[in-house]
Amino acid sequence: MTILVTGGAGFIGSNFVLDWLAERDEPVVNLDKLTYAGNPRNLGSLERDSRHVLVVGDIGDTRLVPILLERHRPRAIVNLAAESHVDRSIHGPDHFVQTNIIGTYHLLQSACAYWSALSGTERDRFRFLHVSTDEVYGSLDPDDVAFSENHPYAPNSPYAASKAASDHLVRAWGHTYGLPVLTTNCSNNYGPFQFPEKLIPLCIHNALAGKPLPIYGDGRQIRDWLYVKDHCNAIRLVLESGQVGETYNVGGNSEHANLEVVRTLCRLLNDMMPRANGATYQELIAFVSDRPGHDRRYAIDSGKLRRELDWRPMETFDSGIGKTLEWYLANQDWVAEVTSGAYRDWVKTQYGR
């Protein structure tokens, strides 16, 4: 048996592929377009592992995807491929519409054609698992209860809107054509291999370089942080035992304001890697213009996943952030590689002002 993972060279995707092959002896075909966010080096440890095949291509390629499905005959597709950075979606929504909406549509069509031609057990056991985000639910007020799976969709950024559209397409393909779909909506992930344009790796990278740690607005926006490997476990569990047609929210039950997150990083870094000039990392914190339309608070109620599939996160925020820092300190060469070239242009566009 084989599974097809899309976006498996990105942050969550590469963690997922590595964990999958460590936990299961089932090959992975990894379809990834290798945008700026995709890095085959994340999968370097699998170079000689015949259970992993990386195919460079687009989920929206209506010629390539059917060929891949026919050739490898996967029993499941795990769709992680997406444009994922909110700030980039504000500067240039095109790629988000193209990959997250049109790409998902084409992938669903290819999956549906493949699945419809299956029979017997192959057809019964096939699953299409779509990995999505809590951002589709919009923003919460301080006293609101956390997002459950029944919370109305109210996406606020072009990224969130494109992911919401993809969730609706997945739902419709399940409802109308009977494609055996599953959807997960997860909160903010952090951990190894996260591209340093997202808050936590960006601040680690800047802190080590003695550069400002940019805090949007007042820094009191709240996110629900989850260590990436806990997300990967949840995806595996939903794929194995989730009810077809259902949605599962995944979260860390770990709400923290951005400023608090960055201060925690600074405190840990003060101990692990004191600055040469004797100053603290906190002194690098710099308040900058807010993100347009910035959502104030996300919080996930993952009670359904806990009750039905017995999932719970293994890491607390403290243990997860410690592991993450250790990984970034030990993998400065990885950071140096991804922070060259195109990444620099992005930093200029976003923070140049």
Tell me how far the alpha carbon of residue 8 is from its chain's centroid. 10
Is there binding between residue 86 and ligand DAU (CB under 6 A)?
yes
Shortest distance in whole angstroms from residue 178 CB to ligand DAU: 28
85 near ligand DAU (CB under 6 A): yes
Distances (CA, A) of 161 to 100, 296, 301: 9, 16, 21
Q: How far apart are CA 66 and CA 110, in angstroms?
A: 6
Span interacting with ligand DAU, options 25-33, 129-137, 165-173, 331-339, rule CB under 6 A? 129-137
Q: CB nearer to ligand DAU: give 84 or 233.
A: 84
Residue 214, binding choice from ligand NAD, ligand DAU, none, Cβ under 5 to 8 Å by partner class: ligand DAU
Q: What contacts 352, CB < 8 A, 6 or more positions away?
A: none
* Single-letter code of the amino acid located at 128: F
Q: Minimum distance between the CB of residue 23 and ligand NAD, rounded to whole angstroms? A: 19
Which position among 134, 224, 255, 295 bears the catalytic label?
A: 134
Closest CA to 131 of 38, 250, 245: 250
Query: Whose Cβ is closer to ligand NAD: residue 284's or residue 295's?
Result: 295
Quick note: the x/- pattern for ligand DAU over 289-328, rule CB under 6 A, is --x------x------------------------------
Q: Which residues of 165-187 are buried (b: 16+ CB within 10 A; e: fewer)?
A: bbbebbeebbeeeebbbbbbbbb
155 contact choice in ligand NAD, ligand DAU, none (CB below 5 to 8 Å, kind-dependent) = none
Which residue lies nearer to ligand DAU by CB, 4 or 215?
A: 215
Query: Which stretches of the chain bind ligand NAD, using CB under 6 A?
Result: 6-7, 9-13, 31-35, 37-38, 58-60, 80-84, 99, 103, 131-133, 163, 186, 188-189, 195
**Between residues 27 and 103, which has the closer beta carbon with respect to ligand NAD?**
103
The least distance separating ligand DAU from the CB of residue 53, rounded to whole angstroms, comes to 26
Instruction: Using the structure block, give the residue that is written with the tokens 């000689």.
Output: 48
Query: Residue 129: beta bridge partners?
Result: 78, 182
Q: Which of 105, 114, 137, 159 is catalytic?
A: 159
- With CB cut-offs between 5 and 8 Å by kind, which of ligand NAD, ligand DAU, none does residue 10 bind? ligand NAD
Query: Is beta strand 255-257 parallel, antiparallel or unpaired with respect to 222-227?
Result: antiparallel
Tell me if 215 contacts ligand DAU by CB under 6 A.
yes
Pair of tokens at residue 227: 């260590």
Work out how close the CB of 274 gets to ligand NAD at its nearest, in angstroms, rounded to a whole number: 30
**Which residue number is nearest to ligand DAU in terms of Cβ?**
133
Does residue 207 touch ligand DAU according to CB under 6 A?
no
Considering only residues 240-259, where is the footprint of ligand DAU by CB under 6 A?
A: 258
Residue 181 partner contact from ligand NAD, ligand DAU, none using kind-dependent CB cut-offs of 5 to 8 Å: none
Q: How far apart are CA 244 and CA 238, in angstroms?
A: 9
Pairwise CA distance, residues 109 & 291, whole Å: 35
Point out which span in 20-28, 48-56, 80-88, 336-344 binds ligand DAU (CB under 6 A): 80-88
State the minimum distance, in angstroms, from the CB of residue 181 to ligand DAU. Answer: 19
287 binds, among ligand NAD, ligand DAU, none (CB under 5 to 8 A by kind): none
Q: Is 253 left (phi over 0), alpha (psi -120 to 50) or beta?
A: left
Whether 81 contacts 6, CB under 8 Å: yes
Q: Active site includes 134? A: yes
Task: Return the active site residues.
Answer: 134-135, 159
Binding residues (CB under 6 A) for ligand DAU: these are 84-86, 133-135, 187-188, 198-199, 202, 214-216, 221, 223, 258, 291, 298
